[in-house]
Structure 1
Amino acid sequence: MAGPLAHLKVLDLSRILAGPWAGQVLADFGAEVIKVERPGTGDDTRHWGPPYLKDSSGQDTAEAAYYLSANRGKKSITVDITRPEGQQLILELAKHCDVVLENYKVGGLKKYGLDYASVKAVNPGIIYCSITGFGQTGPYANRAGYDAMIQGMGGLMSLTGVPEGEPGAGPQKVGVAVADLMTGMYAVSGVLAAVIHRDRTGEGQQLDLALLDTQVAWLANQAQNYLTSGVSPQRQGTAHPNIVPYQAVPASDGYFMLAVGNDAQFQKFCAVAGLDTVAVDPAYATNNARVMARQKLVPVIEAATRKKPAAWWLEQLSAVHVPCGPINDLEQVFADPQVQARGMVVEQPHPTAGRVKTVRNPLEFSASPLAYDQPPPVLGEHTGEVLRSTLKLSEDEVKALNARGVI
């Protein structure tokens, strides 16, 4: 096996995105990830389409693109955890695992005897990562939580969108489920920290991770702006609250992103833009001054950038090391020579579609390179394999469980 986590085994009881995203990252890093799904239906996101993966004849398969995005590298088994035999199978699997991922409602697995206390009883060293909308404690603990509502509750939508008073003003949701994705990433780092702790002490533990906590935590500089000033930051479109100019600006044929990060870059931008008087004006000489003069300065910059097409600006500014970039749609993203040179698309054989493309993990390891040997699995693809190899069940025992509807 390849990857730095090839020694770890993960039991993934999660569905939708935050938990599965964490499981996929761990699988990318080499862990054996066993994804437990409901017989017959599986993870909800298998059906969150269109679009669906197509087979060689161009017909839709049962795999929605949404599901494919978060389940690469895993082994899928189907187990009915509402039945005592299914619960026993999960506990037996947990004995052989290092990590359990779950995102059931608080207390949701206790009635099945699969809560942390029950799993710890059979595997004291288990790292049991619980992901919920609001955490295991607090007045909202029993509420369900989904990404879009968390983006609103956690303040992100108050910072995202067109500023008040301008056409199209109002809160906007980010175009991908960032609260879920960031929670998944925090889950990965938490699991790895807990693995290190267990390796030093022999002690397992439960991780309590909430979508709302995560969203609040990664407000980052915007949260700190509020805590420092007592003033809630407002929506500023593509602009940055602490740096000017750092936003989308108009060209003669569209828009591009201008990201001036320091005073030297601003001087270089002004030289390219023909804004010599602006460059020497004390009112704009420092970033602090430019932030204070935002309303006056930005129209001057936009008037200059409208005179040339975006490609001209990107070429000229890049030549003098002023950060800038196009605003690409996804077709342009995946056609970009840098994205292609970095091999950001992984193509793998797939049992029903022939081939499937996914986006590779962005990390590269020099000593333990990642291998993408397992595509997102079809439902129950590995049930028999896992039960035979991990639990040492016989073929007849697996068939009997299947006949009784347990798997």
Structure 2
Amino acid sequence: MMNYIETVNKYAQTVVEVGLNIQKGQTLVINSDIDAIDFVRAVTKAAYARGAHNVIQKLTDGPSTQMKFEHAPVEVFEEIKQYKIDEINDFVAQKVAHLRIYSQTPELLKDADANKIAALAKANGEMNKDFARAVGRYDFSWCIVAFPNDKWGELVFPELKGEDAKLKLLDAMIKAVRVDKEDPVQAWKEHNDSLNARAHKLNELNFDKLHYYSERTDVEIGMTEGHRWLGASTTNADGVEIQVNMPTEEVFTSPDFRRVNGVIGNTRPLAYQGAIVDDFKLTFKDGVVTDFEAGRGYDVLKNLLDNDEGARRLGEIALVPDDSPISNSGILYYNTLYDENASCHVALGRAFPNAIENGKDLSKDELFEKGLNHSLVHVDFMMGSNDLNIDGIQKDGTVVPVFRDGNWVI
């Protein structure tokens, strides 16, 4: 039987130490729904104990959000407020640490107007564009985690209700982020070493392009000159090691958005802006989505692709074996943070500046000229499966098997 208080406190301590690596005198901003208030308070306590100067909580409420989407006119969701931009940019200038806690059901906005969802996504993208670029450069410490609520638990475990569903989902999350280990900090160090070694191997091979093929996908994705595969942990601009996603099982980079040709089909549902998109395929020609289909959430997907020009191009590719902890658990979380770590995935939209040599020192236009996409959005979706094969193709035409039947072979 789980000791709830001890578990929440241990989880919070791991996030503060490993994920954010809070430094003495640092300010932390926590963005979360009030359903995760126990965890928010535990993180706040752990951050102050580690020497944080200030912890700022920015909380939302799921039912109130639903009311807003039901009753407020679309122009409310289109508003771009300068005071919000000023606050965000001040946080960036002060290198304030940021923690995002996913804590609401992925179906929160399943009945909401897709046009309102799209309008809010576009407005938020515009208000956060400088913040997003700073995030991609790791100018400050940031981390994304999750904490369940009852409705999310019931979605994942429909045979359970209420608190029972929430606690079962929390137990699964705790295992995925290694908090069930006696020493989670050491467990994360060993995990980081393993993923970083895999990234180093891919960098040595220096592929010109990758060919993905399975029942649902057949696509060639070109790589940029000087691309860099990245592992789990990274260092921020001040040299502090952080863990930006908990959990993580991936090695990733940003491709040359101009050199993507073929079809990519999803293998797990995409939870986006409080709605679910599933059974979809995207057709790429010279890097741009030229056609698409979806069995569920067509309008949400269309609005995502229409967000801006960059939303129809790739900004990330990530490799995750089918034989990985979250995949082997058999749990479908309906949440990208977790589901992307059970499956190879790609992301539409914004690329990572540090996915290319000296990328942090290049302007947005210089990165774009080298093939790194820019966009107001960055949306991952899962396309890995137990029948996915990936070949790495070097400039001289040498073909190196990378994945066979969903798993590493290098």
- TM bucket (normalised to shorter chain) is under 0.3
- Compare relative contact order (CA 8 Å, sep 6+) and give the higher one, 1 or 2: 1
TM-score by length of 2: 0.26
Which has the larger share of strand? 2
TM-score by length of 1: 0.26
